[in-house]
Structure 1
Amino acid sequence: MDWRIPSGVTRMILLRHGKPSEEMKGRCYGRLDVGLAPEGHAQAERAASLLASADLQGLYSSPRRRALDTAKRVAEGRGLDIRVEEAFREIDFGLFEGLTYEEAERQFPEVYAEWMAHPERVRFPEGETFSEMRERVRAGGRVLRARHVGQCFALVSHGGVNRTLLAESLGMADKHLFRLDQVHAAVNVIDFYGDEPVVKLTNAAP
């Protein structure tokens, strides 16, 4: 990837956090604040190496520890402060938080069935809907772009956040969101020519 950007272009780099702690495998976690697995730390290191030549003028993170731990690797040696932005937290799964998928299906069969059929429409009990998350994420994205016109900045957050911002740039309907894969520590790049986005890179595994 050539990290030089044309004059006047605003570049948003989206980085998903590394692999979280093993106890979360097969469980719902959004609001839960879990750290990285050893493999996640290694993925974060590789992502930081991939971004080493990018001239970052800002570095932002979700408030969740898995994102902050990943962002710290990117920040090392750059003299950049990490700014935590609440807008970019992962969706709140409400009462699904911490449950395995089997437990969620058993305890909330109707909501679970709706989630599997229409993930963009379901409301998690005592949690969020995708549309609520979408609006706060998109609004947050506009704030960062306005703050960094003509500059390059990075946001370290979550798969759902990345998909939301990529789908907005691509004009994708909400129901197609999961056509966008986001592996752990995936790197994505969106260039903005004024308000016109151009997706330059998606789901690059470092």
Structure 2
Amino acid sequence: MSETTMITLLRHGEVELGNVFCGSTDPALSDTGWSQMQKSIEDEESWDKVISSPLQRCAEFAESLAAQEELEFITDERFQEIDFGDWDGTSPQDILEEDPDTLNAWWKSPTRVVPPNGEAFLDFRSRVLKAFHEISENNKGGNVLLVTHAGVIRVVLMYILGMQDENLFRLNVDYASISRIRLYSDETGEWGTLISHT
């Protein structure tokens, strides 16, 4: 017997800190960011459950939505953004002035170069995909909304599409973007397809 599971990935909106690396840094959504997220889900059907990164730029909106729709709400720290270490809370322009070689090397090869005192990409990828597999296993036949970060969404989409890690930045993930994934499972195993990415 086959089952179909729907998972919708929603990135948080604009944050109050502006254009800085926000990994473990925890800024609030700006008013614009809140509006961006509301607009993104205007035409969406309801979900069975809302799962969110615990960082406030995701969790505050997700919890509000779950309460409004009377849905189960869960936070999972494994869906936090990658930790940028010393770069967290700093703008790319400032880093270019202080350490241009490392930043340029990271932009060219983000899966191999680690920001100073930051999280290695393979560790990040491992925790995200472990959590994602648990969602799919525990919600078979369901319809789940996952509110999270650009890096997390890239990792999940690369996995679904079978992309190589080094192509990470070929996936554009805007503020409040929505990606829809359909997972199929039967006696032969599980596979997924990307339905839309806007």
State TM-score, norm by structure 1: 0.88
Instruction: Return 5+ residue gaps in structure 2 as ranges.
Output: none
Q: Distance in 1 between matches of 2:74 and 2:14?
A: 21
User: Is the 8 Å Cα contact of residues 13 and 32 (structure 2) preserved in structure 1?
Assistant: yes
Say how many residue pairs are matched: 193
Q: Which of 176, 182, 193 is residue 191 of structure 1 equivalent to?
A: 182
Tell me what 2:25 maps to. 32
Tell me what 2:12 maps to. 17
Q: Quick check: 1:112 aligned with 2:64?
A: no
Tell me what 1:173 maps to. 164
Tell me what 1:3 maps to. none
Query: How far off its partner does 1:121 sit?
Result: 1.2
Structure 1 segments (4+ residues) deviating >3 Å: none
Q: Quick check: 1:103 aligned with 2:94?
A: yes
Q: Distance in 2 between matches of 1:83 and 1:133?
A: 20
Q: Which of 182, 200, 204 is residue 195 of structure 2 equivalent to?
A: 200
User: Is the 8 Å Cα contact of residues 110 and 168 (structure 2) preserved in structure 1?
Assistant: no
SS at match of 1:87: helix
Letter in 1 for 2:125: R
Q: Distance in 2 between matches of 1:18 and 1:102?
A: 21
Q: Distance in 2 between matches of 1:115 and 1:46?
A: 33
Q: Quick check: 1:137 aligned with 2:128?
A: yes
SS at match of 1:198: strand
Q: Distance in 2 between matches of 1:178 and 1:74?
A: 30
Tell me what 2:70 maps to. 79
Query: How far off its partner does 1:198 sit?
Result: 1.0
User: Is the 8 Å Cα contact of residues 48 and 72 (structure 2) preserved in structure 1?
Assistant: no
Instruction: Return 5+ residue gaps in structure 1 as ranges.
Output: 1-6
Q: Distance in 1 between matches of 2:79 and 2:56?
A: 13
State TM-score, norm by structure 2: 0.91
User: Is the 8 Å Cα contact of residues 15 and 157 (structure 1) preserved in structure 2?
Assistant: yes
Identity over aligned residues, as a percent?
30
Q: Distance in 1 between matches of 2:118 and 2:178?
A: 28
Tell me what 1:44 maps to. 37
CA offsets, 1:92-150, max 9 Å, x none? 00001111212222333332121122112111111112211111000000011111011
